[in-house]
Structure 1
């Protein structure tokens, strides 16, 4: 609920979800520390009384209310953590104490099973799993955020009453120590827990799966399938491994689990090194199965090493420290530590998980070949990759592709990574050697340019990783986030294109619209022409053509979402442009002349980029500030929902000048957004009329020219405000009534917006 409120303010980035996880892991640590210290120094009876007072005090902080403030461009992670602490810190702190306290209290009774109360953690994690799955499916569609807060308050009252009743039992009949008859280690507990090194093993076994949780979430939601709500699945698997590992009577075969991890680990290594994203279901399965196997191995070993009940709170404390450090490593440390390398922590933790495989006693000692073997494997992989980049190798792969009907790129990937991984699998019986072998192949893989082209620059911050790459033929420079291209520009101008490209929809005259702009300043060569969604023959180009040519001509233009700045190429010398961009790294790269020149070469009279949440920044502008407002923030993985709500459109309408128009880019692989916009537009206090342009019928020439399919809509107060765009021949057609639910700041049915299978 808290994440749903704050997620849109930071662009819907998976890093927001991961930071929320770190916050809750951190507060969980504080709750476990409280449980441990009060158990150790107060005894059960005094602890129970103090806890009843704590539960009562938290009632004064309800209902939960998350204050929406402007996140800073620098340090959004700290802002997010502070906002969460101020809004839900105390209620969650009280709830986080439940599992260790109830287990410790139960251990202080004479009830059956009191000597091994860890089975209660299974019920706790099962409840978390049910709530996690129920929220997007049942709770969010049915209740507004304010209603959810009210229900949570009354649920907390019931929870506090039940815990207080348990505390009352402790005060009346509890004992300050478990019975002597049950003081011995519980079934399944290892005698290794008596070792002074045991807490550090607990920490490590909790650290690795917690880090993998955020790593796999980041990977599958940005690089594989940027599907909203997909990040629920890794957390569900994480909780499921706890449930299995701590279930009563379960004895996991760790040697089998360790060997079972190796196969998906090799497959995942191949997928990561080759940048594989298709078929989506198979790549997702590889990521999730590997994560599940690694987490189950680590959590199973934790359960096997759990101490007797008298050390229960210490065990949970160390486990929580490992969890919060693992999450913080990915969400807070890695973006600063690896800001020029990308998501290094994910493969790093995969190697660490393989290192945690149980080692037979006769192989516990690390031998020289355990180091030398992986080194030689890495050097061999690097040599193969270097050779595969030569012209001779390219010719060989081409001829082999003709003979086998297997794509040359696939053959190349098999040679560069498949063969080394097969060789590395012969190390499988030596866990250290096998894990280091995977690490060596990962290091050598840095020499490979990858499927998205040769990397020119990598910029990483809290909001994600942005890569600047060169296309394989070297003609295009691209801005890439995950597997989404957010813009590209040609490196080599082709002046002949100025007179040859065809204007759409039967435009009359050789010099019209954009062609006149080309003739006026000579800049519409192939290098300066917008590509992808913004191509001159697409809906964006058509809109600017008819707004510029033969209409009232907007002078003040606002654009939400910067990308490479390609839209700035449509500017005229009498126009003032303002871009609103959440990520400062995007502006930095869009202004870097080594990569893109759209902003530098724009003919606009003035051009400014405002960093921050677009809705908050637009609210600072005077009413009637813009003749044209372009919204281009919905084609990526997790859309900023708060820019599509009724309250947001009321703001847009106020900022439009009389006769102004809103142009929205709504291309999205997974969400059908035009019906959502149509519903909101028709139910405003000042309804807006809407037209839609689905530009899907691309020719081979269009694709060669850098154009991609796109969906755009235009909105205005009156039909006549559309001017020439109102004619169907321009591609924009009226939109009929929408049955989509109306999105508001308090409720947005994201599941209902998913595309149907036949669309």
Structure 2
């Protein structure tokens, strides 16, 4: 009884730590790469790959060594891993190794948590193999469900407790201490179970003698790999679908990953939680519903409904895929090979979503490919178990129609790249598209989209309107009024986030505008497909790199001349990356401004209320903040929200942005000011305040 308790405790703690470190590590790295959702996709690839390495390690130990030998070797490696504690990740560290950001993420994670993560990953299959040898005839796969419950608990606890109340460096310290406890428990477990050194033999369990699945065939391995790869690739795609147009934050990473893990729990805990008859009807609807959320606009479908459909749809698809894995699992003597094949499939799925799709596809198309593949797989597998009754024929027809609908939705989206699409490209930082459209007023307008979010436009015809700023940047917007309120002498303006380069239209002779942009494709688009940068009368510099890093390292203004105005207009999806809204970031901005210069922050947003964050930063800096809302003009100028921050508002008392704006104060906000720091920030505060 004691041995079993110690083993289950070790298994539970290992799985808990394995998944607790995932959002923790990604949160630390997120600022280093501009807050893009692809950081999480690259992290998922690392986690899947090292899960595979851990499973291979567990399998080879059992293959090459007897129980006592593999026990002593594992103890030695566990003790070696303690040398790496406490783990450290520097989100603002130098890249150095490679220019590819995805590879940078993989290398940073490997050097910091590679070995501890490998050992945590290997614990499940290794201890389950010990358990199977000591407790013959017991369903060892229930331990797999227990470990997934621990993983699920870790994921759910992170955004609501750990991230909310603990600075990130303290999180890493506590995790390192917990890993030390895990190492001690692991040594104790291995010590207790290694004393039973009996080896497997064909006659060791009468229940497994002559079992038809006792020796897996090559085809079995391919099926395991295929189902697992589809599940992980779909996880990455659905996560990107949620975060691409909202925000890349732990909460939206964890929701899909949590339902992905929960599908393992229900399918591997007991046979009664999955059957072909249970999964048939949900599989008719949800693959197509996921694709429909891509086509719907925000006026047609709300954020909660979209997120719900995506997460429930992911669960249904993974319930089917992982249920088929559970049905096909081998005898317990081959469990490490089974887990190794499943983890290999997971790594391949992560590789497709994180590295292959961004390189081979010009747009975000993998979701259509994967949902169609899952729907077709479901039709192929489930139709064999329907029988010949009338209702069986109806369900079979419905499954086939679901495949056809998924294909039609995919073709319809791909078909959007018609003559009106001038460019479509994709890289680590997002999906860009440039579309020409004839407006109802007769204007021909070119628009820049990042995902589904517009990031600027320009009138092509009539040409007299080509250099007139519109969208969120028109003359009645907060930023338009702020720029015009600057002294008439040559102006120095910095803009974080290039977009189409619309703000360059405000440049006059003698002015100097500097844009900071992390995405090289955005720079290419602004310089070749829009003419704001080319035709402005001011001097323009475009600095590639994360603005905060560039400003911190002193590369922004080589002549050390300070800015009269700095505009923060960088967006990841529909939200400013969180590392650009922390107190440390605002201190960097202040250092770049002249005495009593203007800081303008663009907070137009469908889902988040960022005013409490801006008020918290203004209070901490001793500044005043003014919220300027522009309703738009129903023509070129869209409704926008900007916060204008200055140290002393007195010199600007006659400025339009002061007369049209409202002073930020706690009385105007539902929850008062919020101060975000690099170590402690949580977007749930902004979601709750919307």
Fold agreement, TM-score > 0.5: yes
Q: Aligned equivalents of 1:749 and 1:360: distance in 2?
A: 43
- Kindly tell me: are residues 243 and 85 of structure 1, through their superposed partners in 2, closer, same or farther at Cα, counting changes over 3 Å? same
Match of 1:346 in 2: 367
- Kindly tell me: are residues 37 and 81 of structure 1, through their superposed partners in 2, closer, same or farther at Cα, counting changes over 3 Å? same
Aligned pair 1:336/2:272, yes or no?
Answer: no
Q: Is the 8 A contact 1:741 1:749 kept in 2?
A: no
Match of 1:631 in 2: 568
Q: Structure 1 residue 639: deviation in Å?
A: 3.2
Q: Aligned equivalents of 2:245 and 2:402: distance in 1?
A: 24
Match of 1:76 in 2: 101
Listed as ranges, the gaps of 5+ residues in structure 1 are 365-424, 495-524
Cα deviation per residue 1:123-162 (whole Å; 9 max; x = unaligned)? 1111111110110100011111121112111111111111
- Kindly tell me: are residues 71 and 677 of structure 1, through their superposed partners in 2, closer, same or farther at Cα, counting changes over 3 Å? farther
1:596 to 516, 520, 530: 530
Q: Aligned equivalents of 1:192 and 1:491: distance in 2?
A: 69
Match of 1:355 in 2: 376
Q: Is the 8 A contact 2:67 2:196 kept in 1?
A: no
- Kindly tell me: are residues 655 and 439 of structure 1, through their superposed partners in 2, closer, same or farther at Cα, counting changes over 3 Å? same
- Kindly tell me: are residues 269 and 640 of structure 1, through their superposed partners in 2, closer, same or farther at Cα, counting changes over 3 Å? closer
Q: Aligned equivalents of 1:39 and 1:297: distance in 2?
A: 31
Q: Which one has a bigger Cα radius of gyration?
A: 1
More off after superposition, 322-331 vs 56-65 = 56-65
- Kindly tell me: are residues 751 and 284 of structure 1, through their superposed partners in 2, closer, same or farther at Cα, counting changes over 3 Å? closer
Q: Is the 8 A contact 1:664 1:713 kept in 2?
A: yes
Aligned pair 1:215/2:237, yes or no?
Answer: yes
1:491 to 457, 460, 469: 460
Q: Aligned equivalents of 2:136 and 2:623: distance in 1?
A: 67
Cα deviation per residue 1:348-374 (whole Å; 9 max; x = unaligned)? 11122123226479979xxxxxxxxxx
Aligned pair 1:537/2:506, yes or no?
Answer: no
Aligned pair 1:85/2:110, yes or no?
Answer: yes
2:335 to 294, 312, 323: 312
Match of 1:690 in 2: 625
- Kindly tell me: are residues 243 and 90 of structure 1, through their superposed partners in 2, closer, same or farther at Cα, counting changes over 3 Å? same
Q: Is the 8 A contact 2:497 2:568 kept in 1?
A: yes
Aligned pair 1:577/2:513, yes or no?
Answer: yes
- Kindly tell me: are residues 190 and 732 of structure 1, through their superposed partners in 2, closer, same or farther at Cα, counting changes over 3 Å? farther
Q: Aligned equivalents of 2:438 and 2:177: distance in 1?
A: 59
Q: Is the 8 A contact 2:492 2:512 kept in 1?
A: yes
Q: Structure 1 residue 254: deviation in Å?
A: 1.9
Q: Structure 1 residue 600: deviation in Å?
A: 1.1
Aligned pair 1:645/2:582, yes or no?
Answer: yes
In the TM superposition, 1:418-567 aligns within 5 A as: 429=396, 437-438=404-405, 440-442=407-409, 444-446=411-413, 448-449=415-416, 454-471=420-437, 473=439, 475-493=444-462, 525-547=464-486, 551=487, 553=489, 555-567=491-503
Match of 1:749 in 2: 682
Q: Aligned equivalents of 1:203 and 1:360: distance in 2?
A: 16
Q: Aligned equivalents of 1:660 and 1:590: distance in 2?
A: 27
Q: Structure 1 residue 322: deviation in Å?
A: 0.3
Q: Aligned equivalents of 1:14 and 1:190: distance in 2?
A: 45
Q: Is the 8 A contact 1:183 1:309 kept in 2?
A: no
Q: Is the 8 A contact 2:136 2:205 kept in 1?
A: no
- Kindly tell me: are residues 716 and 315 of structure 1, through their superposed partners in 2, closer, same or farther at Cα, counting changes over 3 Å? same
Q: Aligned equivalents of 2:183 and 2:574: distance in 1?
A: 39
Q: CA RMSD in A?
A: 3.1
Q: Is the 8 A contact 2:482 2:657 kept in 1?
A: no
Cα deviation per residue 1:518-556 (whole Å; 9 max; x = unaligned)? xxxxxxx42211111101122111111221xxx364532
In the TM superposition, 1:3-152 aligns within 5 A as: 3-67=26-90, 68-70=92-94, 74-110=99-135, 113=138, 116-152=139-175
Q: Aligned equivalents of 1:430 and 1:736: distance in 2?
A: 59
Q: Structure 1 residue 248: deviation in Å?
A: 3.2
Cα deviation per residue 1:433-469 (whole Å; 9 max; x = unaligned)? 657635652464257549x994332111111211112
Match of 2:618 in 1: 681
Q: Is the 8 A contact 1:691 1:714 kept in 2?
A: yes
Match of 1:670 in 2: 607
Q: Aligned equivalents of 2:424 and 2:364: distance in 1?
A: 11
More off after superposition, 741-750 vs 138-147 = 741-750
Match of 1:191 in 2: 213
- Kindly tell me: are residues 37 and 103 of structure 1, through their superposed partners in 2, closer, same or farther at Cα, counting changes over 3 Å? same
- Kindly tell me: are residues 131 and 238 of structure 1, through their superposed partners in 2, closer, same or farther at Cα, counting changes over 3 Å? same
- Kindly tell me: are residues 537 and 186 of structure 1, through their superposed partners in 2, closer, same or farther at Cα, counting changes over 3 Å? farther
Cα deviation per residue 1:680-703 (whole Å; 9 max; x = unaligned)? 23224xx333222123x44xxx02
Q: Name the SS of the counterpart of 1:456 in structure 2.
A: strand
Q: Is the 8 A contact 2:247 2:573 kept in 1?
A: no
Q: Aligned equivalents of 1:635 and 1:221: distance in 2?
A: 9
Q: Structure 1 residue 677: deviation in Å?
A: 2.1
Q: Is the 8 A contact 1:224 1:283 kept in 2?
A: no
Q: Structure 1 residue 228: deviation in Å?
A: 7.2
Q: Is the 8 A contact 1:224 1:483 kept in 2?
A: no
Cα deviation per residue 1:598-654 (whole Å; 9 max; x = unaligned)? 1111111x2111111111111233665222211112574353222122222222222
- Kindly tell me: are residues 243 and 472 of structure 1, through their superposed partners in 2, closer, same or farther at Cα, counting changes over 3 Å? farther
Give the TM-score taking structure 2 as reference length. 0.87
Match of 1:262 in 2: 284
Q: Aligned equivalents of 2:104 and 2:590: distance in 1?
A: 30
- Kindly tell me: are residues 733 and 241 of structure 1, through their superposed partners in 2, closer, same or farther at Cα, counting changes over 3 Å? same
More off after superposition, 617-626 vs 1-10 = 617-626
Listed as ranges, the gaps of 5+ residues in structure 2 are 1-23, 386-391
Q: Is the 8 A contact 1:625 1:655 kept in 2?
A: yes
Q: Is the 8 A contact 2:41 2:350 kept in 1?
A: yes
Aligned pair 1:298/2:321, yes or no?
Answer: yes
Match of 2:551 in 1: 618
- Kindly tell me: are residues 268 and 533 of structure 1, through their superposed partners in 2, closer, same or farther at Cα, counting changes over 3 Å? same
Give the TM-score taking structure 1 as reference length. 0.79
Q: Is the 8 A contact 1:269 1:347 kept in 2?
A: yes
Q: Aligned equivalents of 1:570 and 1:313: distance in 2?
A: 64
1:325 to 337, 341, 348: 348
Q: Is the 8 A contact 1:208 1:326 kept in 2?
A: yes
Q: Name the SS of the counterpart of 1:471 in structure 2.
A: strand
Q: Is the 8 A contact 2:293 2:301 kept in 1?
A: no
- Kindly tell me: are residues 435 and 731 of structure 1, through their superposed partners in 2, closer, same or farther at Cα, counting changes over 3 Å? closer
